[in-house]
Amino acid sequence: MTVETSLPVLTPQDFASDQDVRWCPGCGDYSILAQMKKVLPSLGVPPEKMVFVSGIGCSSRFPYYMNTYGIHGIHGRAPAIATGLKCARPDLTVWVVTGDGDGLSIGGNHLMHAIRRNLDLNIVMFNNRIYGLTKGQYSPTSPLGKVTKSTPMGSIDNPLSALSLAIGCEATFVARSIDVNIKHLAATLRRAAEHRGTSFVEVYQNCNVFNDGAYDYATDRETKADAVVDLEHGKPLVFGKGRDKGIRLHGLTPEVVQLGNGVAEDDLLFHDERAAEPTTAYLLSRMRYPEFPEPIGVFRAVDRPKYDEMLNAQVDEARRTRGEGDLETLFAAGDTWDVE
């Protein structure tokens, strides 16, 4: 007799909940949901060991559509909810789904602290550069001059780079992908899931109702080759339709160079996602179209101690060295006296 030991084979359908998906038709969120469901079955983690945590916004409806455990929290607080959950239950795989408003504006503080603590969380931030659920106000990533319902004369708020922020918070895993670039997105989500520590993924996501075309430059067949550079560990930063351009470092300043005429691939910046110092990753996160192609892929993937592990290690150590807590001993610590 043989004992069946293999895990049941899971399919994307196993991760789909029974709820109707209520994003606007054509929303980039559908693609992210599809890629997530495609990636999850292969992680070797059963759905009941997974929790999706979100805040408020279009992206934050995500947990309702996953047949896992889930909390749709309050605006901006998903990283904090996830932190408590992961500390209490280190055995769970915890995903945080957030947006540019939820994660960078109202929840900026929590995002920053979750990242610096490096809990084993996977944070996916859908960046559509607009407030969708509240119907079209500018967000912390909207470009200067952006005309929205709340900025009829154009935005005067300097936009924030999500990845610069994450790198500034000493993130151990930082990546970017694009909603319609489905193979790249799936691969990026998988890398994020496999990373031990906080992984932060920014997904360029099109809001076809309130900010349609915000990423046309990065997705349009005509322009994307010049607008995007794919980061691959150990490889030079080459881009362009004919793969004829590259990024070269001039001191600490990146520059776009034409290959040929004495400029070889060896002269270019070679991507090192494992660099101990985040300096180069930060430079990459600053690159903005049209001055530069915008990098996608894994910017940084390094190891650093994880808060949840250390927290639980301290508890284990206290138990080992002092023994399991005993109430009688606790109460009687210090001076006591008897009344007969």
Partner 1 sequence: MSTITPDTPSPNTATPDTPSRPVTELSDATVRFCGDSGDGMQLAGTQLTNTSALLGNDVATFPDFPAEIRAPRGTKAGVSGFQVHFAGKDIFTPGDQVDALVAMNPAALATNVGDLVPGGILVVDRDEFDDKNLKPAGYSTNPLDDGSLAKYRLFPIDMTQLTRRAVDELDLGTKESDRCRNFFAMGLVFWLYDRPLDPTLRYIEAKFSKKPQVAEANRRALKAGFNYGETTEAFGGKYHVSKAALPKGRYRNIMGNEALAYGLIAAAKQSGCSLFLATYPITPASDILHELSRHKNFGVKTFQAEDEIAAITAAIGASFGGAMGVTTSSGPGIALKQEGLGLAVMTELPLIVVNVQRGGPSTGLPTKTEQADLLQALYGRNGECPVPIVAARGPADCFEVAQVAWRIAVRYMTPVMILSDGYIANGSEPWLMPDVASLPKIEVRHPAAEEYNGHAGGRPFLPYERDERLARPWAIPGTAGLMHRIGGLEKQDVTGNVNYEPENHEHMVHQRAKKVAGIARELPPQEVDGPDAGRVLVLSWGGTYGACATAVQECRAAGGSVAHAHLRHLNPLPADLGDILKRYERVLIPELNLGQLRLIIRGTYLVDAIGLNKVQGRPFHVSEVAAKINELLST
List of residues contacting partner 1 (CB under 8 A) = 17, 19, 46-54, 56, 63-64, 66-74, 77, 80-89, 91-92, 109-110, 112-113, 311-312, 314-315, 317-319, 321-325, 327-328, 330-340
* CA dihedral for 115, 205, 183, 43, sign (positive or negative): positive
Between 277 and 328, whose beta carbon lies closer to partner 1?
328
Q: Give the nearest distance from C-beta 113 to partner 1 in angstroms.
A: 4
In the block, residue with structure tokens 């192609």? 293
Within 13 Å, how many C-alpha atoms sit on residue 188's CB side? 32
Q: Give the nearest distance from C-beta 303 to partner 1 in angstroms.
A: 23
Q: Give the nearest distance from C-beta 99 to partner 1 in angstroms.
A: 15
Between 279 and 314, whose beta carbon lies closer to partner 1?
314
Q: Give the nearest distance from C-beta 111 to partner 1 in angstroms.
A: 10
Cβ-based neighbours of 149, under 8 Å, separated by 6 or more: 135, 136, 137
E-strand spans in 152-309? 173-178, 199-204, 228-231, 238-239, 245-250, 253-258, 294-301
Between 75 and 235, whose beta carbon lies closer to partner 1?
75
Q: Nearest-CA neighbor of 288 among 136, 161, 122?
A: 161
Between 3 and 330, whose beta carbon lies closer to partner 1?
330
Q: Give the nearest distance from C-beta 81 to partner 1 in angstroms.
A: 4
CA angle 82, 83, 85 (to 5 degrees): 65
Q: Nearest-CA neighbor of 10 among 68, 54, 62, 61?
A: 68
Between 68 and 181, whose beta carbon lies closer to partner 1?
68
Instruction: Report the distance separating Cα 123 and Cα 62, nearest Å.
Output: 13
